[in-house]
Amino acid sequence: MQFSNIYIRVSSINGSTGRECLSETRPRTSLYAIKVTVGQERNVSMMLADKAKVEDLPIAAILAPTELRGYIIIETAAPHAVDQLIRGMRHTRERVGGMVNPAEVDHYLVSRPVVEGLELGTLVEVVAGPFKGMQAKVVRVDVSKEEVTIEILEAAFTLPITVHADYVREVKGV
């Protein structure tokens, strides 16, 4: 199963209840990157969110993009809150110096259809279901239903099978 980007809204920075008056000003938040062990981004982001809630740290959000391996983006008003958050946490390395430009992070927040990138003739591997682990070729793509019709290459005869696009992933390097 493929996971999408992990975005966790931890808390509002000023502890608001949603009933603020318009004259109140909200603190300006910034984005900071932290280095984590590659492959542990999901686990670390969940642990950091739990720690931020328990210790009531001023962390607004945590983002762990799947395309950005080895890094997690944290939204907060103060960099010392990030340092306090990652102190003693397993699989975290350090806070990257400086702030992350929000324009660099925006494309991770846009949701893309699962079938994007799958074309006719694309070689894929089935990652779930009864045909898990088998190589296949894409015969048809139904964007509206997010389904693909594939032909298993290892089968004795060609039989078109329609599966959800989440069940396949493109084989790289072929």
Per residue in 78-102, pLDDT (tens digit) is 889 999 999 999 999 999 988 998 8
Residue at 119: amino acid letter: E
pLDDT tens for 15-58 read 444 334 333 445 688 999 999 999 999 999 999 999 999 999 99
Residues 114/120/122/127 CA torsion (nearest 10 deg): 50
Same domain as 131, residue 55: no
Q: Looking at the structure, do residues 79 and 134 belong to the same domain, yes or no? A: no
Residue 115 located in a structural domain: no
Does some domain include residue 52? Answer: yes
Query: How many CB atoms are closer than 10 A to CB 131?
Result: 19
Q: Strands across the sheet with 160-164, in order?
A: 160-164, 147-152, 135-142, 123-126, 168-170
Residues 62 and 37 in one domain: yes
116: in domain: no
Of the two residues 139 and 109, the one the predictor is more confident about is 139
Domain boundary among 109, 135, 152: 109
Are 22 and 81 members of one domain? Answer: yes
Is residue 146 located within the same domain as residue 105? no
Which one is predicted more confidently, 116 or 69? 69
Same domain, 84 and 156: no
pLDDT at 117: 79
**pLDDT value at residue 157:** 87
Same domain, yes or no: 69 and 38 = yes
Asked if 13 and 25 touch (Cβ cutoff 8 Å), the reply is: no
Task: Assess if residue 66 is contained within a domain.
Answer: yes
pTM of the model: 0.58
Q: Same domain, yes or no, for 69 and 154?
A: no
Co-location of 21 and 99 in the same domain:
yes
Give residue 136's pLDDT. 94
User: What pLDDT shows up at residue 14?
Assistant: 47
Q: What is the CATH number of the domain that holds 43?
A: 3.30.70.940
**pLDDT score at 8:** 73
Q: For residues 161 and 156, what is the distance between their CA atoms, to the nearest angstrom?
A: 14
Taking only the tens place, the pLDDT of each residue in 118-167 is 889 989 999 998 999 999 999 999 988 889 999 999 888 888 999 999 89
Q: How many domains does the chain have?
A: 2
Which token pair is 151?
């032909």
Q: Which domain holds residue 130?
A: 123-170
Do residue 14 and residue 59 come from a single domain?
yes
| Six token digits for residue 30 | 């910034």
Q: What is the DSSP letter of 156?
A: S
What are the φ/ψ torsions at residue 59 (nearest 5 degrees)? -105, 125
